[in-house]
């Protein structure tokens, strides 16, 4: 039994609250020393951090799997590499200090300023890659960061943060910019969320945690769950589509929130889709096994059973007491509806996927909207098709921030196989309860100060340009007199 002090707080919670405040003070003071740092110095530090994270990608992945019991080392290694090398290649030439844009025509100059101290909440499903990603984008934007890891992923998250800080310091950064809680508690996380020195919150995880971030009173970017449907339309290359779905949904045992959760296809090609799924390692759960799998995967209150998250099909099948063929890569469950009466129609974060067969693309469109509304609003969906008209119909009507075409959803949404910004934090827009629909980058962690020159009365030249940013006293007087004369004429007309 935990000891409780005079204020009714246990020693464990008191320790974590104390650490939260110490790390926040450390970050706040350290950030002051980089607030005016030049771009070249910032970029040198960011490069060192990316290189260190990339070098340690496999070791951090191994630590994460060992501590959390989720996912696969080889896939978490790829995520760590993506969150360092791929991210760095995208942001290396991004200007985040000083003047970042100058519009001479409009007379507006944009100047980047850091936000201050970022509080980063990280999930148990992607503990090290999210730490690497958030530390790098915080540094690129000249912010300090305090990370609050998931309680079941503290050790690996701490090590990722340590690697980031040591690399930053070796490249000229002051100590104290990158901090990670070692004594985690709900109370301490709330302390960070509500702390007066917190400038912005980057929350990645479950719905309750994201809601807490948005209700903290501090600015926040929240990224909640995704219930991603994938539509295989009749013109699709079925073999290629299934191959990409298998790659995506089995990647790291389905722990990425952008992974496919339900396949939707048309009756006319359904048998070909089913056959191809079986050819590539999918196993269709049938009869009473569906009930057994459902009971194992979803609790009576409708919550996902954490014991199946990031686990292999074999482990999940054993927990459910069902037999599956050797080498099964994905458990497929035919479903007739969406909602509480069909628990497996929600996000599952493991190698279980639903299958819906609809009459045509219009019915498939409605089914996808149903699935998105059931826990995936604003996040993502994917479709495999060669019909541009159908693709555009889906793009216009789907309440999501990303519609991915002919690509693995897991990899496409984060910007690995698409032109989207490389990110481990995917905004779901206001429809999904987020302030942004973007893939979050360093640009989301800067404030922009705008220098705006007087432009009223400037006459454009023939080439569309104006005569300059500055005006003589006579020009300003003439412009003001013209406005006054126009007002007087209007008043006279109104009087008549």
The residues annotated as belonging to the active site are 257
Q: Token digits for 146?
A: 């305090």
Supply the DSSP symbol for 428: -
Q: How far is CA 360 from CA 87, 231, 356, 371, in A?
A: 39, 11, 12, 17
Instruction: Give buried/exposed letters for 124-161 (b at 16+ CB in 10 A, else e).
Output: bbbbbbbbbbbbbbbbbbbbbbbbbbbebbbbbbbbbb
Q: Are 356 and 367 in contact (CB under 8 A)?
A: yes
Q: Are 182 and 158 in contact (CB under 8 A)?
A: yes
Instruction: Give buried/exposed letters for 398-429 (b at 16+ CB in 10 A, else e).
Output: bbbbbbbebbbbbbbbbbbbbebbbbbbbbbb
Q: How far is CA 77 from CA 68, 163, 356, 454, in A?
A: 15, 15, 33, 53
The alpha helices in 198-354, defined as continuous H runs, are 207-214, 238-250, 267-279, 288-297, 313-320
Candidates 412, 346, 428; CA nearest to 379 is 428
Rg of the chain over Cα atoms, rounded to whole angstroms, equals 26
Residue positions counted in the chain: 496
Neighbours of 89 (CB within 10 A): 11
Separation between Cα atoms, residue 17 and residue 188, nearest integer Å: 5
End-to-end CA distance of the chain: 88
Neighbours of 178 (CB within 10 A): 30
Place of tokens 């940013």: 469
Place of tokens 């299958």: 355
Partners of 282 in the β-ladder: 330
Candidates 401, 338, 406, 343; CA nearest to 374 is 338
Task: Using alpha carbons only, give the angle 274, 279, 280 rounded to the nearest 5 degrees.
Answer: 100
Partners of 222 in the β-ladder: 203
Phi, psi for residue 461 in degrees, rounded to 5: -80, 180
Task: Using alpha carbons only, give the angle 153, 155, 156 rounded to the nearest 5 degrees.
Answer: 70
């Amino acid at each position: 039994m935990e000891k409780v002090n005079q204020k009714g707080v246990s020693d464990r919670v008191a320790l974590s609250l104390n650490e939260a405040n110490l790390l926040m003070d450390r970050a706040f003071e350290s950030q002051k020393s980089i607030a005016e740092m030049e771009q070249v110095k910032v970029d040198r530090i960011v490069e060192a951090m990316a290189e260190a994270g990339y070098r340690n990608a496999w070791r951090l992945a191994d630590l994460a799997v060992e501590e959390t019991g989720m996912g696969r080392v080889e896939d978490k290694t790829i995520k760590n590499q993506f969150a360092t090398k791929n991210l760095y290649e995208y942001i290396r030439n991004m200007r985040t200090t000083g003047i970042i844009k100058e519009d001479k025509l409009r007379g507006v100059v944009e100047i980047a300023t850091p936000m201050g101290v970022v509080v980063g909440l990280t999930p148990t499903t992607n503990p090290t890659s999210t730490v690497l990603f958030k530390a790098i984008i915080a540094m690129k934007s000249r912010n300090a960061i305090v990370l609050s890891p998931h309680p079941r992923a503290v050790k690996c998250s701490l090590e990722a943060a340590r690697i980031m800080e040591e690399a930053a310091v070796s490249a000229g950064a002051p100590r104290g910019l990158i901090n990670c809680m070692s004594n985690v508690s709900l109370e301490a996380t709330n302390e960070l969320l509500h702390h007066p020195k917190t400038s912005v919150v980057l929350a990645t995880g479950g719905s309750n945690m994201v809601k807490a971030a948005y209700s903290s009173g501090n600015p926040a970017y929240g990224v909640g769950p995704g219930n991603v449907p994938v539509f295989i339309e009749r013109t699709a290359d079925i073999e290629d589509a299934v191959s990409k779905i298998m790659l995506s949904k089995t990647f790291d045992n389905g722990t990425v929130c952008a992974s496919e959760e339900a396949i939707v296809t048309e009756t006319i090609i359904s048998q070909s889709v089913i056959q191809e799924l079986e050819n590539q390692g999918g196993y269709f759960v049938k009869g009473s096994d569906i009930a057994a799998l459902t009971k194992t995967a979803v609790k009576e209150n409708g919550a996902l059973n954490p014991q199946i998250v990031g686990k292999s099909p074999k482990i999940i099948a054993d927990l459910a007491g069902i037999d599956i063929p050797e080498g099964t890569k994905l458990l497929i469950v035919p479903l007739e509806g969406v909602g509480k009466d069909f628990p497996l129609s929600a996000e599952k974060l493991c190698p279980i996927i639903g299958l819906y067969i609809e009459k045509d693309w219009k019915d498939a469109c409605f089914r996808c909207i149903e699935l998105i509304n059931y826990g995936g609003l604003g996040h993502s969906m994917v479709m495999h098709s060669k019909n541009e008209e159908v693709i555009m119909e889906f793009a216009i009507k789907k309440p999501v921030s990303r519609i991915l075409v002919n690509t693995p959803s897991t990899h496409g949404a984060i910007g690995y196989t698409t032109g989207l910004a490389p990110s481990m934090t995917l905004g779901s827009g206001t429809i999904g309860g987020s302030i942004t629909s973007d893939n979050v980058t360093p640009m989301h962690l800067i404030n922009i100060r705008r220098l705006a020159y007087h432009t009223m009365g400037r006459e454009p030249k023939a080439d569309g340009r104006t005569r300059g940013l500055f005006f003589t006293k006579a020009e300003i007087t003439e412009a003001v007199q013209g406005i006054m004369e126009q007002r007087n004429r209007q008043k006279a007309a109104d009087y008549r």
